[in-house]
Structure 1
Amino acid sequence: MSLPQPEASVISPVPRAAAASLKRAARTRLFLEGPVGSTLARLAAPNVIAMSVQSAMSVSEAYFAGRMSVTALAGLALVFPLVMLTQMLSAGAMGGAISSAVARALGAGNTERAGGLVVAAWLLALAIAMLSALLMALFGREIFALLGGEGGAVQAAMTYAAVYFPGCVSLWVCHSTLSVIRGTGNMATPGLVLVLVSMGAIPLSGALGLGWGPFPALGLPGLALGMVLAYGIGALAALCYVLTGQAGLSLRDRPARLDPGLFADILKVGLSASFNSVLTALTIVMMVGIVGRFGEAALAGYGLGARLEFLMIPVVFGIGSAMTSMVGANIGAGQRDRALRIAWTGSLSAATIIGGIGIVLAFMPDLWLRIFLDPEQADALGIGRAYMRTVAPFYFFFGLGLALYFACQGAGRMRWPVIGSICRLGFAIGGALILISQTDLGVRGVFIAIAAAMLVYGTVTGIAVRLTRWR
């Protein structure tokens, strides 16, 4: 005789939450005990796929702008460093700090603290998003003018920024929540969400920007609106995942009053990482300002090269975000030697991938440039080719320094990545100004300085981590 089955209405949700907690504990154990290479590869794979699709989203945006006009493309080149800075801060700098803090808490066995960090992360995301929107509303036009933009290019950039920055709260909430999930060791769910966000943003941006079908042709504001809407949907999905306990963290266990130490735990890494991201963006922003002296065609051609450089960041992020969580858990558990082994394994792998892409594009720059430019746009094509042939061979060093930055986030040791970025900024700006004033290289002198700065960045960061061993 079969036993009576319980009514569905009286089944407790506790077993589901308990199962999620057990899975989360198993992932943390894998961080601490699993084979380094295969574990890192398995964790990085969903992120790499997601970041590759996100890169396609950025490529499509430039393609859509190119279909509008060279002025629209130049305007997008002006605003793009600030857009990517928002992505870098929300997903990489503060996002990595959130993942690191959650992973370190779980590595030390403190699940209550991990739950409190979730709420702290959300509050920080909302505050930073509102601050960035306010700053752009007050100083956006002045910033674009300082970057060397003039007339139509500045106006085009302003129309994009007027939609993107008030709506960037969706990016901040989405990325901060996905970072919490990564901190628990779950890379597949954030990867899936970002893939779906990117796949939704591409047709939305195209439809709203170019006026496909029944949609109005909003131009550059439409491109921004498509991205904001897609991230808003992703943010809702990520919030539901965490709030329903599927991440294995119970928010009921958090302190009734948020401990300031929770914010400090995120900010002590996040502020240094954010400063590093600002330096990375500032390097490209300053180069945009210098290149802008050579005209709109030069700005458009260089903008495509800079866009590719920025797109290397999400590729490295795919591996780096896995390293951040793995390194954080091992540091929390007191396993520094294993954390360093994870850092070098992941960083050299990321640098090799980025370096390989750079070598291919150095020899065949039109694989990238002809996506956006037609043959009759010869001046912009010439500038873009010069950039690729000069800078792309040094992508290995850029990838190495950037990957070690993510590893250092996990360890909570951000001094040397920041020093490396300061050196990069100094070499790029100083070298460019010297070569422009002392030689007849013109804009190619700027590209030589950028390449030398990448070499310095990767070398300084790599040697420092090797010698200090995060002591």
Structure 2
Amino acid sequence: MKQLDSLDVPGGAVGVAVEAETPAERRALMMVEGAILPTLVKLSIPNLISLCSVAVVSIAETAYVARLGLASLGGIALAFPIFMLMQMLSAGALGGTVSGAVSRAFGAEDRLRAESVAISALAIGLVFGLAFAAMIFTLGAPLFRLMGGEGGILQEAVAYASMAALAVIPIWATNMLASAARGSGNMVVPAYTLLAAGLVQIGVGGAFGFGLGPLPRLGIVGVALGQVVAFTASAAFLAAYLRSERSRLRMTFDLSQVSLTEITAIMRIGGIAMLSPLLSVASVVTLTAIVARYGEAALAGYGIAVRLEFLLIPLAFSVGIACVPLVGTAIGRHDIARARAVAWTAGSLAAGVLGLVGALLWLSPNLWVAMFTQEPEVTRVAETYFRIAALGFPFFGLGLCLYFAAQGAGKVGGPIAAQGMRLLVVVVGGVLLANYGAPLWWAFVLSSAGMVVMGLATALLVKRTGW
């Protein structure tokens, strides 16, 4: 990138670029000088596309596993939470931390440190991947049995997990490399790599699951094989890309660059950030247990409604993960004012998008509910949920997006505390509902209240935390 000079502005010295010669240089210029809202939108769109692929994979797998029989469908349902949690930990919690660390290094114009952060993050991912794989191989069957699996369902769950465990290390490697690339400001390559991985997973999993053409029919094991092939290929592709001249972040994969200092710094922030998906899942599980006391129809209706809530996460995630490198780069350049402006703009954007979704469902909840059931009582429960809980959706988007902004700044304590407050509201409220025999709709008020508390507390704590 050609530069004529630099000038001092509040928050640090900013180079004035007159020409960006390559795509990597244009991205670098956009990170430090681009208008915030258009830049956020531009960076968010690829993320949204790749995250939508996750939903497509989930729907497609569920559809063709159902054709394998009820035992296979029950087996994959038992295994799904473990692999979903692993994705949330690797792509969101640690992944966002890695993106923030890489972007802060680029903001400080320290490319060697950015490379060291990236290779150290990959080392962390490989260790976590090995640990998760070992846990699945050794503890999978007892865990599935504890979750209520037995007979053919337990057998199918173990079969699926044993093959899918071979994909765990490539999944962690893929997410660490993708996060490092995002930290350099490149959202497109990771997004389309993950989109391609999803398509390969569907194709390979279906082909081996049903034995299409000359391929053997492997059933649920073949479905899991799709993950192994897809993520092994995606990890290899991202590694090759990050070694190429097209990447702003050039990784040599020199093991001597693995730094205990960088590993410690990543885990100091990432270890706390990993509490986020755990707290989120705990809140949903607690609410599910509360609703279950009201009967099967209540649980079925809530299950349909809360499924949409899980799809809201990618919407907020796509904006949140886009703001991480923008915040991190500004922090690295000591431009705190721009970092704050990015965080509030991103939070407002996520709140607005989820608020629109909430308003639509508040007005016409049957747009979602009718896709899953025509049962009157179940429909009534789900519609009641949307007319109450949807009021909390914008606060949920605000809180989740500011959590990612805090990762960019390396200050995640406040957002994690706010998510803990949400869980506390749900737990204490649940006890009160049980003691006073409140009607079902109060459980949905509790869900909305938890989101509001999370969003407002996150905003307050981010505002009061020094960056």
- Identify the TM-score tier after normalising by the shorter chain: 0.7 to 0.9
CA distance in 2, matches of 1:210, 1:440: 49
**1:424/1:206 CA distance change after superposition, 3 Å:** farther
- 1:33-65 CA-partner distances (Å, limit 9, x unpaired): 221112222222211222223322233334445
Cα displacement string for residues 143-165 of structure 1 (whole angstroms, at most 9, x for unaligned residues): 55666778776666555434434
Measure, in 2, the Cα distance between the counterparts of 1:374 and 1:67: 20
1:422 pairs, out of 413, 420, 423, with: 420
Tell me, in whole angstroms, the C-alpha distance in 2 between the residues paired with 1:217 and 1:289: 38
Work out the CA distance in 2 between the residues paired with 1:70 and 1:255.
47
Deviation (angstroms), 1:357? 1.9
Whole-angstrom CA distance in 1 between matches of 2:411 and 2:331: 11
Distance 2:213 2:359 in 1: 40
Q: Does 1:196 align with 2:196?
A: yes
Asked if 1:38 corresponds to 2:35, the answer is: no
Instruction: Quote the Cα distance in structure 2 between the aligned partners of 1:61 and 1:118.
Output: 32
Deviates more, 1:140-149 or 1:181-190: 140-149
Does residue 464 (structure 1) correspond to residue 433 (structure 2)? The answer is: no
CA shift for structure 1 position 350: 1.3
Once the two structures are superposed, residues 209-258 of structure 1 have per-residue CA deviations (whole angstroms, 9 ceiling, x without a partner) of 56666666666555444334322222221111112343233445968353
Superposed CA deviations along residues 43-93 of structure 1, whole A, max 9, x for unmatched, are: 222112222233222333344456667776666555444332212111111
Map 1:55-204 → 2, pairs under 5 A: 55-64=55-64, 78-140=78-140, 143=143, 157-204=157-204
The whole-number CA distance in structure 2 between the counterparts of 1:62 and 1:115 is 39
Shift in Å at residue 276 of structure 1? 1.7
The 3 A distance-change label for structure 1 pair 380 and 222 is farther
Rounded Cα–Cα distance in structure 2 between residues aligned with 1:135 and 1:289: 27
Taking a change above 3 Å as real, the CA distance of residues 34 and 469 of structure 1, as seen in their structure-2 partners, is: farther
- The letter of the residue matching 1:54 is V
**Most deviating of 22-31 and 292-301:** 292-301
TM-score (normalizing by structure 2): 0.83
Once the two structures are TM-superposed, the CA of residue 194 in structure 1 deviates from its matched residue by 1.8
Aligned residue for 1:186, secondary structure, equals coil
Tell me which moved more, 356-365 or 455-464.
356-365
- SS of match in other structure, 2:135: helix
Is 2:116–2:257's contact at 8 Å kept on the other side of the alignment? no
C-alpha separation in 1, matches of 2:301 and 2:228: 26
Q: Name the aligned partner's letter for residue 326 of structure 1.
A: L
Bigger mean CA offset, 101-110 vs 126-135:
126-135
Contact 1:28 1:107 in 2 (8 A): no
CA contact (8 A) 1:432 1:445 kept: no
Q: Percent identity?
A: 35
CA contact (8 A) 1:148 1:288 kept: no
Shift of 1:342: 0.5
Question: By how many angstroms is 1:401 displaced?
Answer: 0.5
Once the two structures are superposed, residues 100-141 of structure 1 have per-residue CA deviations (whole angstroms, 9 ceiling, x without a partner) of 111111110111111112211111111111222233344445
CA contact (8 A) 1:73 1:300 kept: no
RMSD over aligned Cα atoms:
3.3
Take 2:356 and 2:77, find their aligned partners in 1: how far apart are those partners? 25
Tell me by how many angstroms 1:291 deviates: 5.1
Does structure 2 conserve the Cα–Cα contact (< 8 Å) formed by 1:44 and 1:322? yes
Q: Is the 8 A contact 1:148 1:292 kept in 2?
A: no
Whether the aligned pair in 2 keeps the contact of 1:74 and 1:296 (CA below 8 Å) is no
Q: Distance in 2 between matches of 1:304 and 1:177?
A: 34
Instruction: Tell me which moved more, 129-138 or 106-115.
Output: 129-138
Between the two proteins, the alignment pairs up a number of residues equal to: 448
- Structure 1: gaps of 5 or more residues: 1-19
The change in CA–CA distance for 1:283 and 1:411 in structure 2 (over 3 A counts) is same
Task: Report the counterpart of residue 357 of structure 1 in structure 2.
Answer: 357
- Which piece of structure 1 moves more, 144-153 or 270-279? 144-153
Partner Cα separation in structure 2 for residue 366 and residue 214 of structure 1: 44
Give the corresponding residue for 1:408: 406
Which secondary structure does the structure 1 equivalent of 2:458 belong to?
helix
Per the alignment, residue 285 of structure 1 pairs with 285
Secondary structure of the corresponding residue to residue 90 of structure 1: helix
User: SS of the residue aligned with 1:46?
Assistant: helix
Distance 1:141 1:253, change over 3 A: closer
**Cα distance change of structure 1 residues 59 and 123 upon mapping to structure 2, 3 Å threshold:** same
Measured in 2, the distance between the counterparts of 1:166 and 1:378 equals 44
Amino acid at match of 1:34: G
Tell me, yes or no, if the aligned pair for 2:119 and 2:253 is still in contact at 8 Å.
no
- Check 1:470–1:212 CA distance in 2 against 1; reply closer, same or farther (3 A cut): farther
Q: Show structure 2 runs of 5+ residues with no match.
A: 1-19
Measure the CA separation in 1 of the matches of 2:212 and 2:387. 36
In structure 2, how many angstroms separate the alpha carbons of the residues matched to 1:185 and 1:370? 40
